[in-house]
Amino acid sequence: EPEVTQTPSHQVTQMGQEVILRCVPISNHLYFYWYRQILGQKVEFLVSFYNNEISEKSEIFDDQFSVERPDGSNFTLKIRSTKLEDSAMYFCASNSGGVSPLHFGNGTRLTVT
């Protein structure tokens, strides 16, 4: 069964550094997402991406964050200058459109020290 894959599984970085989290969505899906889960808290929406542009973003997704689909398969989340509070699990997801269910990757655990 096709799946969403994310790399790396764990990233440790120092405060103020830039990180790029990578995702390969399911190949025939058209909509891509990033969600975040701080330890012990809810899974929270960050951003949705369709047709090479952001379709919706949350208040969390400020100017420090950006997303990109650099080629036909990868979807990336960049955090330009990491803060301690960015430490969380970051999940990539994709779906075939609109209100169809999202399929999630296993996440990247980001630790900012």
Partner 1 sequence: QKEVEQDPGPLSVPEGAIVSLNCTYSNSAFQYFMWYRQYSRKGPELLMYTYSSGNKEDGRFTAQVDKSSKYISLFIRDSQPSDSATYLCAMISVSSNTGKLIFGQGTTLQVKP
Binding test (CB under 8 A) with partner 1, winner from 25, 48, 77, 110: 48
The residue (of 64 and 104) whose beta carbon lies closer to partner 1 is 104
Q: Which is nearer to partner 1, 55 or 73 (CB)?
A: 55
If one asks whether residue 13 binds partner 1 (CB under 8 A), the answer comes out as no
Contact, 8 vs 106, CB < 8 A?
Answer: no
Q: Which two tokens stand for residue 41?
A: 């808290």
Torsion of the alpha carbons at 3, 32, 100 and 39, rounded to the nearest 10: 80
Measured torsion, CA atoms of residues 60, 37, 83, 6, in degrees rounded to the nearest 10: -100
Shortest spacing between CB 100 and partner 1, in angstroms: 7
Contact residues for partner 1 (CB under 8 A)?
4, 6, 31, 33, 35, 41-45, 48, 50, 55-56, 89, 91, 95, 97-107, 109
